[in-house]
Amino acid sequence: MPFKAVRADKTDAGQNVRFVEMDEAELMDGDVTVRVTHSTVNYKDGLALSGKSPIPRRFPMVLGVDLAGVVETSQHPGFRPGDEVILNGFGLSETHFGGYAERARVKGDWLVKLPGGWTRAEAMAVGTAGYTAALSVLAIEAAGVKPAFGPAVVTGAAGGVGSVAIALLAKAGWSVIASTGRASEADYLKNLGASDIIDRATLSAPGKPLGKERWAAGIDSVGSTTLANVLSHTSYGGAVAACGLAGGMDLPASVAPFILRGIKLLGIDSVNCPMAPRLAAWARIAGELDRAALAKMTQTIPFDRVFAAGADILAGKVRGRIVVEIG
């Protein structure tokens, strides 16, 4: 049966990204076929939808780094028809057809069963952004850094990673400093649990190799100079989780925070993350993320608005999370 998908094709002029009609015979190899009902729009999706990024590594490529849906057929022992599942990363939209399609065929080893009591739409409201935030919180805790050591800073605070990170950190007892370039979002961020708001301009300009100690932990989705400044202001023994590059891939930093304050820079990979920490992140989300707060940070759009949403997220116009109703 034909189904609708957003596909990137390679042309002499570059990438042609558009809605197409596909057939199940065109799906890639896998042992589980999923009827996709929901996806989401992350910053990475915005890049891919623009048709100007290197996100797809092979062509043609169905875009969408996240999906939630219902198992239709399975040759994997862990899943059977009717199971509700979610999938984040594992090469979706890069090397394997992603979630912007009404059907997906994937490896069962990549799938996570929907947490009990949660809806597929809620899982996609979390999506890769929220799951990455949970991985970041867990990494900071594993590094032995605690709320008693001082506050935590979250950059890109009004975005998807930032919004969920603030909610999870506040729930865990942290005093959260939210860094944003959108002063109008102050009330939104405080409702999520932020106790203080700072202008992102204070972190985006070049700073000192070692600045005043301002926080014990940080979750950064921006990278570049912003991450360098977050490191510079992290207190002795603190830890910073780096999980994004919205501001750039470079890191114009100094070794001073590492060798004079003993801080830790924690790299967060959500794409190929092993299943054990992946499940731990989803368990943390299911157990501690306030679903009412999640609803307040989420907007839902129909499938045909995904390109507009992708442009908005690249332009910094998106607050929180976007759920896409696929089918």
pLDDT digit string, tens, across residues 291-316 = 999 999 999 999 999 999 999 999 99
User: Is residue 147 included in any domain, yes or no?
Assistant: yes
Residue stretches of the chain with pLDDT short of 70 = none
| Residue in 29, 17, 248, 287 with CA at minimum distance from that of residue 155 | 248
DSSP-assigned beta bridge partners for residue 177: 153, 196
User: Could you list the residue range(s) of the whole structural domain that residue 203 is in?
Assistant: 129-267
Angle between helices 160-171 and 120-142 (to 10 degrees): 60
- pLDDT given at position 194: 98
DSSP annotation of 95 reads T
Angle of CA points 35, 36, 38, to nearest 5°: 150
The whole-model pTM stands at 0.95
User: Is residue 278 included in any domain, yes or no?
Assistant: no
Same domain for 135 and 247, yes or no, is: yes
Q: Do 263 and 244 touch, CB atoms closer than 8 A?
A: no
- CA 166 vs CA 26, 189, 271: distances in Å: 41, 8, 22
Same domain for 100 and 23, yes or no, is: yes
- pLDDT given at position 24: 94
Same domain for 160 and 194, yes or no, is: yes
User: Is residue 122 included in any domain, yes or no?
Assistant: no
- pLDDT given at position 49: 98
Provide the CA 315 distance to its chain's centre, in angstroms: 17
